[in-house]
Structure formats: structure tokens, C-alpha cells
Amino acid sequence: MTRGTIPFYLPALLVFFLVSAAVCRAAEDGFDRYEMGFKNFVTCELTRIGLTSYFKGKSVDITMIDVFEVRAESDLVIITGAVQCFVEDTYKTLYAAVGVKTIMDSEKVMYFTIRPKDFSILATELMRYPYKERCGWSRYRLNIN
């Protein structure tokens, strides 16, 4: 290689890094959109049903909602996470899963479950918990463009 020439692999390496960065950014945007939707949806559902029913009438405040994972299984996007609550004088955790399906360019919650113990979620397990629309998912979509 002579002085002043660019190695043949440098342009390919540059393109690789640019494409990788774009793909990572798109994945982050998708995760952020699902994370916000999950947090708002779960807050709505737990408020609507009266969170006190999970804790036998004790006063409850939601202190944190965290998303663990967003993954696609077939035509279903599954978002799993946890809800930390302050129940009278102690913290408790509930685990939640939401199954979102795109129907005619609109995302809808098809499945929703919440439990007081951790679980590994699969689409077949989640499908045992069908959801009748109460808190609409589409109202929580973010326009991040």
C-alpha cells in the first residue's frame, strides 16, 4: 500500500458501521414505542380494575413499571415487564405480559395477563388470557418521527 491510498476494506467497513447504527436506532425506536405503550396500558388497566383487588383491599400506589423484553412470536408482539407497588408499608411486584397484534394497520391488545409471581411467557401461554378491549393500545402509540 502506498502512502495516501485508502485501504480497499475501509469503505466497506464504514458502510457496515453506518448500516449497523441505523438498524440499532430503528430497533431502539421500536422498543421505546412499545415500552411507552406498555407502561401507559398497564397503568390504565390496573387503575381501571382497582389495583387493591390484587392486595386484598390494602392501599396501593404504583411506584415503577419496567419493561423486560419485547419480542415477536408469529404475528404477535409480546411485551413483558413488572409493576412495582407500594402496599401500605412494603414494596410488592406484579409481573405483566401484553400481546399486541397488528390488524389492518392498527395495533390492538389481544392478550393481557398480570400475576404476583414471575413467569416465562410464551405466545401459547399468553393466549390463555384473552383480553376484552377496555384500555385501548392505539391511544398510547408514540409518533417518534
- From the CA atom positions of the chain, what is the Rg in Å? 21
Domains of the chain, start order: 9-136 (3.10.450)
Tens-place pLDDT, residues 18-54: 444 444 444 445 788 899 889 989 888 887 766 666 6
Tens-place pLDDT, residues 4-17: 566 666 566 555 54
